[in-house]
Amino acid sequence: MKPGAPVLLTLVVVGAVVVGLQSGATWLAPSEVIAGLSDPLAPGAAIVRGLRLPRVLLAFLVGGSLAVTGAALQALVRNPLADPYLLGISGGAGLGAVIAMALGLGGVFAVPLAAFAGALAAVALVYRLSAVGGRPLDTNVLLLSGVVIGAFTGAVMSGILAVSDASQLRSAVNWLLGGFGSAGWSTVLAFAAYAALPLALLWSTGRALDLLTLGDEPALHLGADVERTKRIAYFCASLLTAASVAACGIVGFVGLVVPHAIRRVATPLHRGLLPMAFLAGGSFLVLADAVARTVVRPIELPVGVVTALVGVPVFAALLRKSLR
Amino acid sequence: MILEAAGVVVRYPGATDDALAGVSLALGAGEIVSVVGPNGGGKSTLLRALLGIQPLRAGQVRLLDRDLAAWSRAEVAQQVGVVVQQEEPAPGLRVTDAVLFGRYARLSPLAAPSAADHAAVHRALERADVVHLRDRFVTQLSGGEWQRVRLARALAQEPRALVLDEPTSALDVRHEMELFELVAALRAEGLGCLVITHRLNLAARYADRLVLLHRGRVVAEGTPTGVLVRERLSDVFEWPVAVTTWCDGAPQVVPLRPGEEQQSAAGPRPQEPESK
């Protein structure tokens, strides 16, 4: 690991959180943010504590989870282009959530659970599509299957929304486009509760993920329990993607951009990569959300628009590099 | 015996013939055993069976006198280091980290690598003569350098046995000889080395025993002189060959061109007929 990387990352995290707390319908100076955080009676305290802090925290947790998921998936499929969005897992989770909403199942549990079921189904389907005799043919075929499943889930979601009644439609569409507008403390706590276990599990398989990047056979010979590691990692990736989609809709490319950057500036070893990707992914999504809220104020852009505007060029660059 | 296969039968799903039809093989400490034979003869399948990643239809593989199925992958990796035929270098990985992967099977899940682990990595880098490459990215290495780094990684496992699958197929003469010399030195230190190779002549000079595998069966096993017999090789490889003797006494196989058969039979050094 390069020596300056943790210091740099700490600065990025602090900077992103401060900017996230500053931005919104009214722009707060850094001093107002600090006052609002430290003194409950300060003029900006209600905005900072009640509205912006939960929003920033949720964006941070979701961004971190998506980045960790992307890093793990890239090790699993041995391809830097893997990401929960491109592998169709987000789409599966989204479809599960839309079905739950269309059936009128609400609440803290139903939507994330339906999203989780959808995510697992998408993983299984993508894997099935790209494998012959239980062995995946080629990671590019796997990605292509993911894109196809993503397109399919998108079409079914549109179909369901088209036949839904107007009020349901509006709330589902708002949620689906992705955003943290409705973030509150209960969402933050619920998300943290869902995400803690899979994040810890993924970190604990970090060394096995290192070995998996070499390929299944070399990993086996170096002592990795390949099948078990894959099961754990796909399970955790599905859980984290589902929790993210349930919390803020479909946000793509965080899992693509962030691990790539961390591998380059810090380390490719997962015991370091995963925590750093979490911090950097959190910062990235907080900043993306700050941009989404302010760039065409008073209208809020869906945060997925911002991440895609950053992510697609990165994807294109990685693709060019992988073709060379 | 370190690694021992007894009556191993493997049949791939959907196949009508056995890929391995009752193969037995033993690898002890301080010896080089080389598995040779034509393409498709079952060499790679045998390797996979010996390493416990190929389900057996019948027979048994034992590691240190215990059924291989009773070992965890991490336990196997502490005893046997493997260099597979082909492995793409992973992008972004430096040589030191790649060799440290050889220690993973010995690390407890939460502990960081100890000084002893780093020392083992350094010894392995020295042994494989890649210390000077330690800070390079593995994607920047030449084929020969990458091969030696993978060997260093296997040595960092501090195994009792090494299994090498076509270790020199991409190497030029110098790197090939350096690798075989290193294997010979490791044997002298007590390692058991199983080498799968198409290089009959190098196998003849370095291996203590040869195993000739053809159509899933062991056609011959024993000293290089006992196994590398003209009629047998011509038969198994379906190509006429002559067998001569190098000055160190090792048999050397020369594939013949059409029309050379008679000539070589009457040549200056015809080989005595050998029995197995």
Strands B58-63 and B66-67: antiparallel
pLDDT of B47: 94
Residue A222 has pLDDT above 80, yes or no: yes
Helix crossing, A53-77 with A139-162: angle to 10°?
Answer: 140
pLDDT score at B268: 52
Q: Using pLDDT thresholds of 50, 70 and 90, give the confidence band for residue A300.
A: confident
Report pLDDT digits (tens) over A230-278.
999 999 999 999 999 988 888 989 998 899 889 888 899 999 999 999 9
Interchain CB contact of A228 with B (< 8 Å): no
- What is the phi/psi pair of residue B270, to 5°? -70, 145
What are the tens digits of pLDDT across the range B115-148?
Answer: 999 999 999 999 999 999 999 999 999 988 999 9
- Spatial contact of A77 and A143, defined as CB atoms under 8 Å apart: yes
* Mean pLDDT over the full length of chain A: 88
Residues A80, B91: C-beta atoms closer than 8 Å = yes
Give the rounded percent of residues in chain B with a pLDDT score beyond 90: 79
Asked if residue A9 lies in contact with residue A279, where contact means CB atoms within 8 angstroms, the answer is yes
> pLDDT tens digits, residue range A75-98?
998 888 888 988 999 999 999 988
Q: How far is A277 from chain B (nearest CA, A)?
A: 15
Give residue ranges of B with CB < 8 Å to any A CB. Answer: 13, 51, 53, 72-78, 80-82, 84, 87-88, 90-93, 97, 101-102, 104-105, 107, 109-110, 153, 157
Determine contact, residues B135/B96, Cβ cutoff 8 Å: yes
Model confidence at B272: pLDDT above 70:
no
Q: Which of B85, B59, B58 is nearest to B4 (CA)?
A: B59
> Helix, strand, or coil here: B245?
strand
Check CB contact of A80 with chain B, cutoff 8 Å: yes
Q: Is A211 an interface residue toward B (CB < 8 Å)?
A: yes
- Which pLDDT band, with edges at 50, 70 and 90, does B32 fall under? very high
User: Residue A270: its chain B contacts at CB < 8 A?
Assistant: none
> What is the predicted pLDDT for the residue at B276?
46
pTM: 0.89
Does residue A134 sit at the B interface (CB-CB below 8 Å)?
A: no
Name which of B80, B93, B109 is nearest A268 (Cβ-Cβ): B93
Three-state DSSP state, A292: helix
Give the three-state DSSP class for A208: helix
Q: Which amino acid, B145?
A: E
pLDDT digit string (tens) for B147-200? Answer: 999 999 999 999 999 999 998 887 889 889 999 999 999 999 999 999 999 999
The C-alpha of B223 sits at a distance from chain A's nearest C-alpha, in angstroms, of 29
* Cα angle, residue A245 at apex, residues A240 and A251 outer, rounded to 5°: 105
Strand segments, DSSP code E, in chain A are 131-132, 135-136
Distances (CA, A) of B127 to A5, A218, B146, B156: 32, 21, 14, 10
Taking CB atoms and an 8 Å cutoff, what residues of chain B touch A224?
73, 104
Residue A222 is nearest to which of B13, B53, B104, comparing CB atoms? B104
Identify the weakest region by mean pLDDT among A50-59, B134-143, B260-269: B260-269
Question: Smallest Cβ distance to A207: which of B84, B88, B107?
Answer: B107
Structure confidence at residue A106 (pLDDT): 67
A204 touching chain B per CB within 8 A: yes
Give the distance, in angstroms, between the CA of residue A300 and the centroid of all CA atoms in the same chain.
Answer: 20
Q: Is the pLDDT of residue B261 over 80?
A: no
CA angle (B180, B181, B184) in 5-degree steps = 90
The tens digit of pLDDT for each residue in A109-158 reads 788 889 999 999 999 998 888 877 666 667 778 888 999 999 999 999 98
pLDDT, residue A127, reads: 85
Residue A212 in contact with partner chain B when CB distance is under 8 A: no
Give me the residue label for tokens 């592998």.
A87
pLDDT of residue A149: 93
